[in-house]
Structure 1
Amino acid sequence: MEEFLAPLSKSLQPYKDHIAQGATIITILQLLSPALLVNEIRKAKTTKNFTIAPFIGGGVLSIMFVVFGQLMNDPTTIKVNMIGVILSVIYITAFYIYTPIEEKFNVWFKVGLAGAFSAIMIGYTKYEDPNLVEQRFGLILTLLLYAVIASPMTELKEVIRNKSTEGLPFPIIFMGFLVGLSWLTYGVVLNNAFIILQNLVVVLLCGFQLSFFLIYPSKKVVKDKKKRN
């Protein structure tokens, strides 16, 4: 693949900095999207009916990508995901503030598990064969990324049954598509097969989910029928 894409990579080299800046800006916008959920929690003044999973998941992924950026010696990846780590800390802190006293221990427990997992992964990179660590750690990171990106697909059964995309988070999916596309382009510039394949799957997963918004409305058909009656 790298030999096949070499000519395209070479032709894009003059635009490398601009493509990197574009990918950075789009990723930061995606990292800011959980702020909308935090605002909903602030309005409700409680975390009841909300989950901390998106904030913890985003934080773990950001930490993993910082480590991966260090393995690749890529300043852009490190810089963007350091911002993600900082934002995740802010989101988790805000979540904790609005968590009822009886539930605060659960927050600490989940954060502790995430921290332990991150520490284990970081430790793994220190002891793995230097010739294999980038590839193997990248595979682990890719599986985690796919799990997060594909999570809305658990709602597709309901979407098809109700013929409505009301349960799908369009902004998150759409931003995921744009981020995947921008980093796919950056991967082509670097002529890095791993980054290309990783983000190609992200684009395909998000694109598949977005296609349902073209097929079904964002409101439940049942409600529309009730209104007509």
Structure 2
Amino acid sequence: MEFLENLSDSLSPYKDLVANIATTMTIAQLMTPILLINDIRKMKTTEGISIVPFLGGAVLCTLFLQFGQMIGDPVTVKVNIVGVLLSLFYLLAFYYYTPIKEKFSVWSKIGGAFIFSTGIILYTMYEDPTLVEMRFGMILTGLLYLVMAAPMADLKHVIRDKSTESLPFPIILMGFIVSFVWLIYGIILNSLFMVFQNIFAVLLTGFQLSFFAIYPSTPKVKDTKKKN
């Protein structure tokens, strides 16, 4: 696309600056689960807390690391190496505080995530080199959107209660900022995959943020009637 190429040429002098911002913001986003791990540490149990978000982060970072190596982008590789290491820490901490009766279930889920990631990586090694980048990118995009769209499950409650209390504002806001920075970086790299992926991510998180402008973040006060 000629327009994308021209925009890439205009922004290319800022490549290092945007790369540094993208790296810093993404690592900050990857560290947000530490807050939940700290809550688990205080409770000394993982009861009532799902391992799925931690597994999702581990799988995404592993696959994005593979994608970074595929396109030869050191920024993507560096960020996701940090992400993989942090994800391993989160999973180990989660397992440590998991009740004994549930440890096998945790191991089985970790094993399933490992098999899934390994299968996708093996696919990238044997797929047609002329097709693998786009197809692998589509798989990554689908997985990323599933993770980012998770708060959408609560939107019916937000609209019903006219309150955004159930939506994680810091996580959504950070997702919006990080997606926007990576969109700019994708334009600089002239990568159609990164551009389209992050355009939709910006729109998705922006749509979620719009509810904070419509509804308050405090619980809806329900009217109560006194009975004589």
Assess same fold via TM > 0.5.
yes
Q: Equivalents in 1 of 2:108, 2:169: separation in Å?
A: 30
The residue type equivalent to 2:125 in the other structure is K
Question: Mind listing any 5+ residue stretches in structure 1 that lack a counterpart?
Answer: none
| Matched residues, number | 224
Q: Equivalents in 1 of 2:213, 2:37: separation in Å?
A: 29
Q: Equivalents in 1 of 2:200, 2:162: separation in Å?
A: 26
Q: Equivalents in 2 of 1:221, 1:139: separation in Å?
A: 40
Residue 11 of structure 1: CA displacement?
1.5
2:152 is matched with which residue? 153
Q: Equivalents in 2 of 1:5, 1:108: separation in Å?
A: 45
TM-score under structure 1 length normalisation: 0.96
Residue 5 of structure 1: CA displacement?
1.8
Q: SS at the partner of 2:10? A: helix
Residue 222 of structure 1: CA displacement?
2.9
1:188 is matched with which residue? 187
1:170 is matched with which residue? 169
Which stretch of structure 1 is more off in the superposition, 188-197 or 199-208? 188-197
Residue 14 of structure 1: CA displacement?
1.1
Residue 194 of structure 1: CA displacement?
1.1
2:25 is matched with which residue? 26
Q: Equivalents in 2 of 1:37, 1:218: separation in Å?
A: 20
Task: State how 1:51-70 maps to structure 2 within 5 Å.
Answer: 51-70=50-69
State the superposition RMSD in angstroms: 0.9
Q: Equivalents in 1 of 2:2, 2:69: separation in Å?
A: 25
Deviations 1:87-130 (A, max 9, x none): 00000100111110001111101000000000100110111001
Task: State how 1:86-105 maps to structure 2 within 5 Å.
Answer: 86-105=85-104
Question: Mind listing any 5+ residue stretches in structure 2 that lack a counterpart?
Answer: none
Q: SS at the partner of 2:149? A: helix
Q: Equivalents in 2 of 1:113, 1:36: separation in Å?
A: 26
Percentage of identical aligned residues: 60
Q: Equivalents in 2 of 1:115, 1:194: separation in Å?
A: 25
Deviations 1:161-186 (A, max 9, x none): 01111111111111100110000000
Q: Equivalents in 2 of 1:67, 1:222: separation in Å?
A: 49
1:48 is matched with which residue? 47
The yes-or-no answer on 1:13 pairing with 2:41 is no
Deviations 1:138-160 (A, max 9, x none): 10110000111111101000110
TM-score under structure 2 length normalisation: 0.96
Q: Equivalents in 2 of 1:187, 1:69: separation in Å?
A: 12
Q: Equivalents in 2 of 1:30, 1:184: separation in Å?
A: 16
